Structure 1
């Protein structure tokens, strides 16, 4: 036991009525009183401190210090006792055994009626006496811990764990193995991995003390593995030191040096002086076994420097603890003064209550009067609001009726237009078909005449079919309004060939040739059904206004990320005025083709709408008597995917 620690122990016991804690001088009494925490929050802070003390003892001590001041502010005795116990445990984990004893002993008086907490205190006191090699005192306190634990499984488990360590230190290996085996079964059944990891380390130490190195190495590796699982850095550093010794005995000096070096780094980070000392000794022994005396000399110098620094650090830390101790006393006195001042303020406030009651009564009377005035004012406003709401409702109904009337008028117009188109443009082809069938039934025409008439009437039927298809699509769009397109990547060439095949008879009948000028990738992004309707109408329109022996050219070009699709004919052309009418919104017109073909004008209107909903635009270039070019753009597949 170091002299500086004994001196500190004596000074603290001379201050029996004072609280003792380190690292809390930064907590202002005023701030603590103003920001009081409820007891459950204090308990959570202490629980967090207990959970992390093996991986970060300094921060755990800081948390417990905060919990101590907050507990003192509200006189929460359980929180005070738990804070003292946690601080003592953090000092024990860093090998400050005497200081740890002092804090845990202080915690005892706050747990006089809490047997489970008393068991925890006695358990850690017994462990500290074991580390100090006072095995008699250790056995005494661990037995007291067992008595206080009673039948509680968690506390009984903690006692047995520390008893196994005592048995190990007293070289009572059979008792130690029996205790560890008993606890291992309990831990596995309740899935207590934290304690299970410690027990594997305990087994490694027991077998190492008996020179059973293979078993010791097995359990040491298991302890290291589980230390990562439970984030117990102290356990990991201790296991590294023990594994280094086992590897050195087995002749693996390099591995022994590696694990001892890791243990040195971890113990230095955690501030565990005893482990750091053991790590230095393990490194020196490993280099000595390799006859690397240069490294032995280097680490012996480092070890001597560490011993000097450790001694100076102990003196410095003890001085700091003393300063923090007196600063804490001043802080606690400040808390008491603030409480006293608050009590005086309460008395002063109580003396003013009568005046406040009188003023409150007057205020209530005034409020009643104001409420009456406000009530009548509110009634008036409510009536005005209801009248305004009724006027607005009437206006809204009037606007709704007007809107419905306009919609009805538009629907009637749409109906009349549709009936007119159907009556005018579809009646003639159907009448021609009926006349043909009547003549055939009456036997008035020969087979040669039937063949000739069928070839003659075929373009009329094709035109009627296209007209009917356009009418159905256009009517559906007019009724449903905005539609949802199903865009996807489409190759233009199969669609172009399909459209040509549809009109092949008409092309052959008028001896019209079709040329392709396509030198780019023909993948576009649009609705496939829309694309077919667009191309069918544009090709049909080109055939309609191109004379016999004419030519139609279909061109596909790229303009940045757009494909330009053109349908050019050598037909009669159209005027600028007609182009403007075709491209104007919601207008359509028609004129006969070169062979008298009739149409509705719906086709180009439908083309323009479908091109626009697919992200393109229809344009027309024409020279009268020379021909026309109808061209439109659609996004390429590459642009749409990007």
Structure 2
């Protein structure tokens, strides 16, 4: 997920319950509510507990959670559905603000079912609003937009102006994540006009912050900073610590971009302190990441390491939560199909049995492959060791060769360690995904529709394709490391090979609504090993698909030059910084990155591509810019032109 997408999602996570217009800093109202709490009972007392939870939400989340849980407990005791629904939606939002997305979704979905049972239209709209935020976090912007628009319709019908303003704001955020900044600004300004009419300082502050995000994304940094600072003043005035944490991060990011390192450091420190105060994992992760970058700029590596530990801890926590959140999110999709459950039960039982059998086969195959690869790697290391020992015994007097042999052995051991790291991390991810789907199918088959099962099948297939691609690359690499691979140099018609790879990835591309285009010259012939070039093209196209946005295109171009040919794979995806490019072909320095749909990418395929290109007498280069896409170009020798006798005679 890109940093800008993450920022927009964090802003989404700041959304308050739309029916509570009173500012959090109104301590007199809080005191009044606490006094009233001692004087009332039954449903009135539960309503007061809920109001107190909402008042404390953005500056004392622990107190807010206490009052919400007390409201839930007392509502269950006297069987008060409205109180249960209100308590659950408040608990869900508090968990969401801390980054506990899976538990938050369960609570909000449960509140939606309660509101539907008592026909509470306004709170149904609020629940749709909050469920949409989880869809947005998972990158499913189209479905999120549908739910936000449903919430907007409900608020308009019930005349709830605050709800209308919040729904317009959220729709604007979705368009911002879809990079439609003109529409995003339009919805934000409509929302802000309603907020200013109502003089709702809490909502106005968030409106300024969101407009700042749009200006930042469009490159208008001064306007963005102005909006952020206006938002900051209001967040301080209303004691909204959730908003302050997010806003401090945004200002720190802009100051750092402008080269104001000291000011950026101060804002990032304020952001981290505020995030720790409200126990918000997403804000702590982003603030500590900024502090790491700032410390590296200042060459203060001790401080950088300090904040890197915090950042890693937050990332690990959020990664684990996101895995379970993804599984829980699937539960929300069966909401309107509950009446069909009994009819489809038998068929689902049969499908789950087939899925279980397939899961076992997949897991068995994966474990066998992992064990096999481990044995191959150990064998390679052992062979290298034996060869090295024989050479040392035979050529002990040649110190330079002995030294080189030692260096080769160290390199082999380092590559072996890196391979184990890739196996443990990048094979574990799709296996965890497969295990998650199998758990869902086993324990929740009666709640999943046939369409959802097909969708899970698609996800399982994608995980298997990712696993297969990684294993192909690992096997190809290990074969070359052992020296067993032999190049079969021949003339290759590149257009045919490009079309073959396009056909191979057409289905994957269609899932992301990406077009694969062959814009090559006619009759481009290279002198190379067919399998090598096929592997290079497959990895480059797969890499572009992972990091391309939906509704874009990837263009593959082959061209003839005087004594060589070139092939370019160009996309309009997330792009890379110079820092990332500098580590791209170094296996020991690479860091795993996620694609635009959370695809796992280890970068190992690019290292293999570079090796294969060099073995075939070519070069590979990269051009990229953040958010502007990437362009990978490799060259191969061209066949020597055949000169006819007639041509020789005419020249003579």
TM-score by length of 1: 0.42
The structure having more radius of gyration, on CA atoms, is: 1
